[in-house]
Structure 1
């Protein structure tokens, strides 16, 4: 008789999901599934709208990565309207996007990941949260985290009106210029972000890498998964967030693909499995081979994958950290929990890059938009979101109304690998029918390292959604139940 353990809801992530673990009679793990149980539908209800509305709509897909969707939509609209933004506009966009990377990565590390490493994976769940983290690190660290987030979110708000759900992405540019008066506080924020990035990395080295138990956990085979890696790179194969080509390396680090974002459909295929409401992706040239590790068909995105896919970082301090990570773990690294380390390295590059951009003379140019529109009918915007490579693909009619939309987000790329990571962790830590809560948390740590965004990941599904409606009178008495299977 098969026994099932369900972790529902899974914790410390954006969205709603569950994990089903199936045990045999002896209590050994037969299988495990990571399941997404929600549906959004942005790709459907945006059809027929003017394309330029997308930068106001897609930031509302979720509250965790709105700037990534906003920027991908802005870049897609550049192509739809056939315009290249001026240099100042690109600098302003990159300034905002780096600020978003910084604040987003620290939300994940300090609020979602740190409870497992600072408080401990087996600690009381009531303490395994941000308050437990601050109790061990001190309130001054919490104040620094909040201050860096606040200051970088002010850059986002200043450029695109709002930090939670930015607006103002325009085809061909940005809505407002940076003044010389703005430059001073932006420089101060960039410099403070760089200082904090170095602090956060040293904290990770001291409290995580310096703890033999945690280092052993990072290196545990349960938290390793051999897949290909995908990320956005510049002309020198360095990590880039805003613009570049998509590069894919195999399990051994050999380049197998490098392509422009507009060509993604030639290389990436999508499929839906009956047990999940998230579309899984795989490399077309390898073909779907099921949920199999080391097949070459599955690939990962996210911070560690983008470092694997690149030959280096684009800034000097981040490059030194990149070298140290791979010197200790090997390249490519397949250590799932090392994503937290890579995440902090990416935040460091974003801070370094903003120190450069903040001092660029052209940042304050008044030439911030190109209005020489030529409607092309299609645009693909690709950015490296904090969680990995993000594609926005729009098609329009001759009036600029949307006729087709396809979004491939980071959590879709990672969906199949997350399932495999969860299964490997479950098989390592669950033996017997008496399963401790700490063991289940260690299983959750396998998916949490990816920082999945489930609201972003579920957009379209064939068929119909199950539906149950309860009709009650004014006193709450159930009158009738309507169901659609």
Structure 2
């Protein structure tokens, strides 16, 4: 008799998700799905608000990546009002963005991914967490916390708050950067780089440790998408590039024209939509974003250390895109290094402390699109407002949504790899969760609703009965 396994909640991800695994009569996996259970509703209750409120309102979508929503929203407002912000304002926004990358990528690698990668796939659940890392290697654990602290403190200095920043406004920034904060941040970026080198060493050790597993673990071909600037990795502003499975550029377009290039597919078993490349159709047009996607579409990185690592990373693909889900971790650390290098470049620019940080806006009807590369992938904010600035329509396509089909496929492939002959054990189920964690999903963002951090796995028989549920509350 077949049965279904449910993992509910999925752990060490931001938000609430569930995995269902259908077993056939022989106890092997016939089908698996990753379900997003929270309901989307954020866009609807933004309608009727004044457009200039959005950079503050949308930060409440997520407490992990509020800077991304803050900046994408501010960019959409700039576009709607038709203003070009001062160069210093743009640099300050990018600096805040780099600070978020430092804290977010450090959070994911050390707090969420490292417990699996450092302790091994069969480690007991009570060890697979940040406390386990601290107990096993107190020095590494403390340095991980310090690296994230540097990112958070830098966000506060530029954005006014470490969580839910307020400084980016339509027309620029509400305040300049002080000379004192500039000096402190410059010193901290040197410290951050030394800490990031530890993460780089750790992820390379992981690559060697799991050299045989990496090509088999949720490795599959897709297209890839991300922002580039003259072919180089870009996180704040550029053109959207899509590459095919062989690494050929098939589209590069102005992000404001995203509706002409990206469509969304729906399934009745989930609230979340599946974006795809419109010309390629569904499901051939499925693409991946986030660190793996960005490094696959980029020809180079403009900072020296990150660019050297990019060349090494691309060797893993043998001249084609790197398809392995576990390589998200390596790509994430390369981006961490880039964020630190780029933050230092911005801080060394004397223009960063200029007082010219905003231009006036004139209330008008209009439409605006703001696109940015959030840590978890391409983020799109699209607003329409009437002549007094009241919002008539809001569309937000978040990073995790772009990767949703890939996460669902990763769950199915890993489940088929590890769950066989009715052998359903906790370490094996954890590997299914690991496939999701590669993508660092933010399910609160994906549903635009405040979420918790649990996941559930449910095992179902062929006659539809739930045979087993594995649930974790945190």
TM-score, length of structure 1 as denominator length: 0.90
Deviations 1:350-390 (A, max 9, x none): 00001111110111111010115363511110000000000
1:50-199 to 2 correspondence within 5 Å? 50-136=50-136, 138-199=137-198
Q: Tell me which residue corresponds to 1:472.
A: none
Aligned partner of residue 223 in structure 1, secondary structure: coil
> In 2, Cα distance between the equivalents of 1:114 and 1:95?
27
Aligned partner of residue 215 in structure 1, secondary structure: coil
- 8 Å Cα contact 1:218/1:335 also seen in 2: yes
Deviation at 1:306, TM superposition (A): 0.6
Identify the match of residue 368 of structure 2 among 379, 391, 398.
379
Deviation at 1:417, TM superposition (A): 1.2
Q: Tell me which residue corresponds to 1:319.
A: 307
> In 2, Cα distance between the equivalents of 1:150 and 1:10?
26
> In 1, Cα distance between the equivalents of 2:18 and 2:433?
10
Deviation at 1:49, TM superposition (A): 0.5
> In 2, Cα distance between the equivalents of 1:376 and 1:229?
35
> In 1, Cα distance between the equivalents of 2:255 and 2:316?
32
Deviates more, 1:377-386 or 1:193-202: 193-202
> In 1, Cα distance between the equivalents of 2:178 and 2:132?
42
Asked if 1:259 is matched to 2:247, the reply is no
Q: Tell me which residue corresponds to 1:223.
A: 218
Q: Tell me which residue corresponds to 1:210.
A: 208
Runs (5+) with no aligned partner, structure 2: 450-474
> In 1, Cα distance between the equivalents of 2:150 and 2:405?
36
Deviation at 1:280, TM superposition (A): 1.0
- 8 Å Cα contact 1:83/1:373 also seen in 2: no
Deviations 1:124-168 (A, max 9, x none): 1111111222233x2122222222222221221122221121123
Aligned partner of residue 13 in structure 1, secondary structure: coil
> In 1, Cα distance between the equivalents of 2:27 and 2:142?
45
Deviates more, 1:384-393 or 1:194-203: 194-203
Asked if 1:247 is matched to 2:241, the reply is yes
Asked if 1:35 is matched to 2:35, the reply is yes
TM-score, length of structure 2 as denominator length: 0.92
Identify the match of residue 424 of structure 1 among 388, 413, 433.
413
Q: Tell me which residue corresponds to 2:292.
A: 304
- 8 Å Cα contact 1:378/1:396 also seen in 2: yes
> In 2, Cα distance between the equivalents of 1:374 and 1:360?
33
Aligned partner of residue 71 in structure 2, secondary structure: helix
> In 2, Cα distance between the equivalents of 1:375 and 1:193?
43
> In 2, Cα distance between the equivalents of 1:191 and 1:71?
25
- 8 Å Cα contact 1:61/1:455 also seen in 2: yes
Identify the match of residue 268 of structure 1 among 249, 262, 267.
262
Deviations 1:162-199 (A, max 9, x none): 11211232111111111222221011122222222222
Asked if 1:396 is matched to 2:385, the reply is yes
Deviations 1:191-239 (A, max 9, x none): 2222222221012213x1232xx1212122x3202000001101x2111
Deviations 1:287-315 (A, max 9, x none): 223xxxxx3x1000010111001111121
- 8 Å Cα contact 2:96/2:158 also seen in 1: yes
1:17-28 to 2 correspondence within 5 Å? 17-28=17-28
Runs (5+) with no aligned partner, structure 1: 290-294, 461-485
Aligned length: 448
Aligned partner of residue 197 in structure 1, secondary structure: helix
> In 2, Cα distance between the equivalents of 1:209 and 1:150?
27
- 8 Å Cα contact 2:9/2:16 also seen in 1: yes
- 8 Å Cα contact 1:8/1:17 also seen in 2: yes
Once superposed, what is the RMSD of the aligned Cα atoms? 1.3
> In 2, Cα distance between the equivalents of 1:273 and 1:447?
19
Structure 1 pair 325–5 and aligned structure 2 pair: CA distance change class (3 A): same
Asked if 1:284 is matched to 2:278, the reply is yes
Does 1 or 2 have the higher relative contact order (CA < 8 Å, sep 6+)?
2
Asked if 1:411 is matched to 2:400, the reply is yes
- 8 Å Cα contact 2:157/2:177 also seen in 1: no
Aligned partner of residue 213 in structure 2, secondary structure: helix
Deviations 1:257-282 (A, max 9, x none): 11111100101111321100111111
Deviation at 1:110, TM superposition (A): 0.5
Aligned partner of residue 218 in structure 1, secondary structure: coil
Q: Tell me which residue corresponds to 2:16.
A: 16
Deviations 1:67-108 (A, max 9, x none): 111110011111111111111111111111101001100100
Aligned partner of residue 392 in structure 2, secondary structure: strand
